[in-house]
Chains A and B, each alone.
Chain A
Amino acid sequence: MTTDALVQVDALGPAGAYRARYREPVTDVTGRTVAEVGLVPDPYVARAMAALRKGTTAPLEQRRAMLRTAAGLFGSATLLGLGPDDYQHLVSRVAGLGITAVRASTEKIVARCASAWEDAQAARPAGAVTGWRDPEARDGAALWSRRGDVFGVHAAGNHPSVHAAWIQALALGYRVAVRPSRKEPFTPARLVAALREAGFGADAVVLLPTDHAVSATMLRLADLSMVYGGDAVIQRYGADPTVLPQGPGRTKILLAADADWRDHADLVDLVADSAARSGGAGCTNVTGVLVEGGADEARAFATALADRLATLPVTHPEDDDAVLPVHPVAAARALETQLRSVAADAEPVGATADSIVAELGDGSAALRPAVHLLASAAAPQLGAELPFPCVWVAPWSRAGDGVAPLRGTLVLTALTNDDALIDALAEERTIRNVYVGARPTWWADPRVPHDDYLAGFLMESRGIVSTA
């Protein structure tokens, strides 16, 4: 940033930008205020949602063209006064996320925006057509249809890439309201600005910065919503069929005996990368690692993993080689306290056993990776997800533990060639993604669902026969 003026994030509503009088400060990793976000009141949200309700959806080909334009704008234009470099620097400094991960996230959002329609087709049932004019509808087919018109997004601020997901709703013809994270509102603000500039109307996509109480109004007035949050959010919305909760991943890696990690050093790298990529704060960063072969084997692996993770540089987030998450010192200390409380009887392993907080001298601190050894795969810490590289390693036995400790997992990378074991894992519905082989847990592809396809939630099949 070349100017001392604070970046201002305003609502983008049905009548354009709206400057709420209450400006909430947005701070960087040193605690310094670098931006302000204006929080809109309940009736503003009500009117914005009413505008979406009455809005019109542009025809498909126009939407696809606008999405391609928006993708280009998001990647390279100056939007809301910020060029791409300024934007990425700001996100890095505010979220404490390494700049390289932020740049990668920009590329991901650009790619997912440009091909949002095509990506969504992966979720379309084999018997469904996308419009009644499709020749296949003559003899009867399924018509792939929206389950509603207005989609609400209660976003998270832990990683800008979360905003790559909801673009599919626009591609599928939804009008979309996005409630940004108050900690990192820049990514959705930039994305909504790009979409608006590309031609999406003020009655097609809105940005509604609000507090939590008001965001409930947005969710209530949307037909369908996705909500990011912790266990409390999942509990609150879990039973609501109109809400798709995006909660903790409790992502895991299983190292079966035949993976032979001692002879494959790259497997330690794979686990370390799965833990630390993008600062380790995502739901697809590995949390629990199960090692077959007894307590000694688990200890040996935990030590090797801790050694590998200890090589990650302690540096400012805007440095090209930064990986570790950075927070204000007080926040970093609070996370360490939380870690100690969660860890309880688990045994800390490696160089960070004493402290994970590495102060950077400017009021900020990097969180160094934590590796703990658990006595058994049944220990509750195995699924304790914390927003930095934090891995719980436990011994695992096929006969004694089986699939039980692997239940409730967003992504499981299983290193094994044992078909019977893979069969059991593939059968376990509560493991949402099973990656067999050397695939990092954070790996994603539009063809591979993330806790099911979003489009599967957004769309349904109706019957169509069109002999006209």
Chain B
Amino acid sequence: MDLDLDTALRILDVGPDARVDPDELVRAAMRWHFGPETGTPFWLRRAATLGFDPVADVRTWADLRLFPNVTDELRDVAVADLIPLGFGPHPDVVSVIESGGTTGAPKRIPLLRPFADLFSHREAGVLTAAGLGPGTHWLAMLPAGPHGAFEQVKRAASAHSRGSLVFGIDLDPRWVKKLAGAGQGVDAYVDHLLDQAAFVLLQQPVSAMRITPPVLARLTERDDLLEAVQQKIRYLVWGGASMDPEARHYYRTELLPDAVLSCRYGTTMALGAGGAERPGLDDDAPCALDPSVSPYVTLSVVDAQTGEPVPYGERGRLVVHHVSKSFLLPNNAERDTATRLEPLPGHVGDAIADVAPLAEFGGVAVVEGVY
């Protein structure tokens, strides 16, 4: 029995904290993205070659596996064709965001207001749960420009505490990868980033920061910057690259004992969403990440050959589903591997840990760089 549009919209439009049944969400999203009057042009076109009827055949979250991985097609699709017709002629497009271009030509997708707000609200909840008070100001050393990270962080800070100041230092991941791929050191570029961060760290009242592990490691080489971080920063979010567990332990116990370190995993192809570190983990536990925008963005760890889930505790290919009113991208096999962990009760899909890049992706060597 197909959903009528009103029912689908009721499910897709619930508030950001409402409990949503993942299977109901999937059915509503199929009705929306594949409905002739509301659908997404890219998917309406693509439906003809799927070999199944998404509205009739995709009934549950588990059925999302029926979809092929179309991520590569997003390198050259017209971005307008990724906006559901149901949003009308004047959709509220927050931005066009692009992947880092780590593995070839960049992929481009539109970020629409409903998901941007949902994601910001959820991240704000993570920050509140971590005990961040109002008036928290941030230093964020993250990609801006065509990438979504910095703008999303800004929205989340504002959603958490209106009036938060977010000081940005732009990190251009494509330039970094170009340098690294050419065998040139990225040292001078990281120095350039840190030179800029120094002004903020030393002069502005920041108490939280977002940074990638390679840049953090380089920051600790500078006495004045390290001292400023030790004195000022109480909450440090890292992501964008892997962190050696030994380094994490050293930061937590020796270098930054007064700061809470918290990991985020986000992928452009899920509009920046992914997972947030489970609070309260001790050093011996794997750094577990729970999906922070579940059930809209969910994570699975599978055997790269068979597509079947790997056993809990084992490493496999990370697959991300994005299913929201704003966007649909199921079965996106990421450039990363992760350890599969049991999800928290009430979550669909997996929790993950130890995200690390694949050595090769689509036949192209992956250069992790500093982001």
Using a CB–CB cutoff of 8 Å, the interface residues on chain A facing chain B are 20-22, 39-44, 46-47, 49-50, 54, 217, 220-221
Contact of B220 among A21, A40, A47 (CB under 8 A): A47
Tell me whether B249 and A46 are in contact (CB under 8 A): no
Tell me whether B223 and A44 are in contact (CB under 8 A): no
Question: Contacts A42-B217, A217-B217 given; 5 further ones with Cβ under 8 A?
Answer: A40-B246, A40-B250, A43-B250, A44-B250, A46-B220
Most buried by B among A22, A44, A54, A217: A44
Contacts of A42 in B (CB 8 A): 217, 244, 247
Most buried by A among B226, B246, B249: B246
Contacts of A39 in B (CB 8 A): 246
A-B contact pairs, 15 of them (CB 8 A): A21-B245, A21-B246, A21-B249, A21-B283, A40-B246, A41-B249, A42-B247, A44-B254, A46-B218, A47-B220, A47-B255, A50-B221, A50-B223, A217-B217, A221-B221
Tell me whether B247 and A41 are in contact (CB under 8 A): yes
State whether the Cβ of B57 lies closer than 8 Å to any Cβ in chain A.
no
A-B contact count (CB 8 A): 42
State whether the Cβ of B21 lies closer than 8 Å to any Cβ in chain A.
no
Q: Which residue of A lies closest to B248 (CB)?
A: A41
Contacts of B167 in A (CB 8 A): none
Q: Which residue of A lies closest to B251 (CB)?
A: A43
Using a CB–CB cutoff of 8 Å, the interface residues on chain B facing chain A are 187, 216-218, 220-221, 223, 226, 244-247, 249-251, 254-255, 283
Shortest beta-carbon distance, B62 to chain A, in Å?
38
Most buried by B among A43, A44, A49, A54: A43
Contact of A41 among B187, B221, B250, B283 (CB under 8 A): B250
Shortest beta-carbon distance, B44 to chain A, in Å?
47
Contacts of B250 in A (CB 8 A): 40-41, 43-44
Q: How far is the CA of A379 from the CA of B179 in the complex (A)?
A: 39
Q: Which residue of B lies closest to A211 (CB)?
A: B244
Contacts of A54 in B (CB 8 A): 223
Q: A50-B223, A221-B221 are in contact. Are A43 and B249 (CB under 8 A)?
A: no
Shortest beta-carbon distance, B185 to chain A, in Å?
8
Q: How far is the CA of A77 from the CA of B12 in the complex (A)?
A: 74
Q: How far is the CA of A43 from the CA of B249 in the complex (A)?
A: 11
Tell me whether B246 and A22 are in contact (CB under 8 A): yes
Contacts of A221 in B (CB 8 A): 221
Tell me whether A41 and B223 are in contact (CB under 8 A): no
Contacts of A220 in B (CB 8 A): 187
Shortest beta-carbon distance, B126 to chain A, in Å?
25
Those 10 A-B pairs whose CB atoms lie nearest each other, nearest first: A41-B247, A41-B246, A46-B221, A43-B220, A42-B217, A46-B220, A22-B246, A41-B244, A43-B217, A41-B250
Q: How far is the CA of A220 from the CA of B218 in the complex (A)?
A: 11
Contacts of B218 in A (CB 8 A): 46
Q: How far is the CA of A22 from the CA of B250 in the complex (A)?
A: 12
Q: How far is the CA of A49 from the CA of B222 in the complex (A)?
A: 10
Q: How far is the CA of A49 from the CA of B245 in the complex (A)?
A: 21
Q: How far is the CA of A47 from the CA of B250 in the complex (A)?
A: 11
Contacts of A43 in B (CB 8 A): 216-217, 220, 247, 250-251, 255
Contacts of A41 in B (CB 8 A): 244, 246-247, 249-250
Q: How far is the CA of A43 from the CA of B216 in the complex (A)?
A: 8
Contacts of A217 in B (CB 8 A): 217
Q: How far is the CA of A145 from the CA of B216 in the complex (A)?
A: 35
Q: How far is the CA of A41 from the CA of B187 in the complex (A)?
A: 18
Q: How far is the CA of A50 from the CA of B224 in the complex (A)?
A: 11
Q: How far is the CA of A40 from the CA of B220 in the complex (A)?
A: 14
Q: Which residue of B lies closest to A46 (CB)?
A: B221
Most buried by B among A39, A41, A54: A41
Q: Which residue of A lies closest to B247 (CB)?
A: A41
Tell me whether B221 and A49 are in contact (CB under 8 A): yes
Contacts of A22 in B (CB 8 A): 245-246
Contacts of A49 in B (CB 8 A): 221
Contacts of A50 in B (CB 8 A): 221, 223
Contacts of B220 in A (CB 8 A): 43, 46-47
Shortest beta-carbon distance, A445 to chain B, in Å?
39
Q: Which residue of B lies closest to A43 (CB)?
A: B220
